[in-house]
Amino acid sequence: MTRRDWSKGDTVLHSMRPEWGAGEVLVAESTVHEGRPCQKLTIRFSRAGTKTISTGFVELRAASGGPRLAEPAEVLPSPPPTPGHPFQASPPEIDPLVLRDQQRAVEETLTALPDPATDPFSSMRSRLAATLDLYRYSATGASLLDWAAVQTGLKDPLSRFNRHELEQWFGRFQMELDSHLRKLLREARRQEPAMVEDLLAQASQPARAAARRADQYR
């Protein structure tokens, strides 16, 4: 874990709980964990409220400059009809190529797996742990909205998508995740079989079930 000191007013992200959103450091205190210097931080997260954490246990990173998908623009009311012209002119036709590019951008954003699960420069253990951790999301309730907030960077994903659309995109994301897990498990079992069993023993029930499904394709 890279050592970095945070100060009051810094904006951070919790690397393992990105669904908490960006957090503002309210209090930063120096402390020690297992003989190593670290910090005790009080952070107010946009989607999880105020939390107190230790950087001896939790890795933080600086919040990025902006969301991957912009919040929807405010819709302005249409001007009144011109006297003598009861019907407004038809809106200009949208270029189908523009629509296709927009759809492709949405697809790539919502189905992409996060870097900690795919970064080839990370260790096999960290990639597999991050991949298994993604099975904490589901297509129901608040979990679906947490997943969509992480994928899009939108504070309120329902301002851009309806729940049915999010459920459909989550299904696509789940397929990508299952495919990635199968490949990762095959490689990890060849290299470090004991590490795989150790991580699976600590994993959630949905993650262990996904690993069992993946093993059927070996």
User: How far apart, in whole angstroms, are the C-alpha atoms of residue 138 and residue 116?
Assistant: 19
User: How far apart, in whole angstroms, are the C-alpha atoms of residue 138 and residue 175?
Assistant: 13
Tell me: the pLDDT tens digits for 8-32?
Answer: 999 998 887 887 888 899 999 998 8
Q: Where are the domains of the chain?
A: 11-62, 98-215
Whole-prediction pTM value? 0.61
Rounded alpha-carbon distances, angstroms, from residue 115 to 70, 76, 148, 182? 20, 38, 16, 17
Q: Which of 75-89, 141-155, 193-207 has the lowest mean pLDDT?
A: 75-89
Q: Could you tell me the two tokens for 123?
A: 């260790």
